[in-house]
Structure 1
Amino acid sequence: MIQKYFPLDKNYILERAQLDTAQELTIYLVDFAKKFYLEQYNPLGIEDDTIRAIKSHQTAYTDRLEEFYRNLAGVYRYKFGQNQLELLFDGQDHYQKYTSDWSSTYKEWLVDFCLKPNFLKAVLELTVFYPEGRKSELAENRMKAFIHQHFELKIYKYKGIVKMRIA
């Protein structure tokens, strides 16, 4: 990673905290989505093939959700990032504070996201049902589109994050 600014820039510390918690929070996303689906769409606990697949799924791989996680982390830095470090009086260092802030915001966002059926369906398709080929690309594109619609931000590979202009 090439750093353009001084090493104690808030965004570098925040990005490091986000990258270090990526695996843990992505697994949390999958487990939360499965639990949310079972509670919302199967409150009686009726077992069919889909429900059995969700219940028996063990989250071991998260590679299909890496891009979504990176995009969401970028949106968080865009919305809450400045380069000025805060003065902390509670004994924590900045890394711990940003890790805690990011984790709590991420988990709050997931509750909101899972209320949207398209998001929930895309997460389950990418993890539990793990489609091969074209279907997985469609689910990944749905995840990107979800971020664009929810936050009204467009993410470009070379330009970065740009606020969408709505006519």
Structure 2
Amino acid sequence: MIQKYFPFDKNYLLEKAQLSLEEELIIHLIEHCKSYYLRVNNPLGIMDDTSLKIMEHQTAYTDRLSEFYRHLCGVYRFKFGDNQLELLFDGTDHIIKYRNDWRTAFISWLDDLCEVPQFIRAVLELTVFYPEDRKADLAANRMKAYIEQYFGIRFYRYRGIVEMKIA
């Protein structure tokens, strides 16, 4: 990775903290979506094929949700990032503080994102019901589109993240 600014830029430290939590938070995302789906769509606990498949799925780190995770990381740095380090008077390391702040924000965003059935369906499609054909790419694109809609931003390949202007 090529760093363009000085090494103690807040955004570099924040990105490092976010990437260190990637596997843990993606697994949390999958487990949360599975339990949310079962709680909302099967409150009586009736064991049908779908519920059994979801319950038997062993969650492991998956690279299919890595792009989604990195998009959320970028949105967090865009919304809450600047290049000024805070003064921490309690003696904690900046990386630890940024890890805790990011974990809290990710979990709260996850609660909001799970309210949308299409989001839950896309996560389950990418993990539990991952198809052998190429339809899973559509699920990843739906998740990206929902992030853009939810946060009012657009992802551009060369310009980065841009705030959408609503007339």
TM-score interval, normalised by the smaller of the two chains: over 0.9
Match of 1:26 in 2: 26
Normalised to the residue count of structure 1, the TM-score between the two structures is 0.97
- Whole-Å separation in 2 of the counterparts to 1:129 and 1:166: 36
Q: Look up the SS of the partner of 2:155 in the other structure.
A: strand
The residue type paired with residue 117 of structure 1 is: P
Query: CA contact under 8 A between 2:17 and 2:95: conserved in structure 1?
Result: yes
By how many angstroms is 1:17 displaced? 0.4
Q: CA RMSD in A?
A: 0.9
Match of 2:37 in 1: 37
Normalised to the residue count of structure 2, the TM-score between the two structures is 0.97
By how many angstroms is 1:132 displaced? 2.5
Match of 2:132 in 1: 132
By how many angstroms is 1:134 displaced? 2.6
The residue type paired with residue 30 of structure 1 is: I
Query: CA contact under 8 A between 2:34 and 2:124: conserved in structure 1?
Result: yes
Match of 1:151 in 2: 151
Match of 1:119 in 2: 119
Match of 2:51 in 1: 51
The residue type paired with residue 17 of structure 2 is: A
5+ residue gaps in structure 1? none
The residue type paired with residue 92 of structure 1 is: T
- Whole-Å separation in 2 of the counterparts to 1:158 and 1:66: 20
Report sequence identity in percent. 63
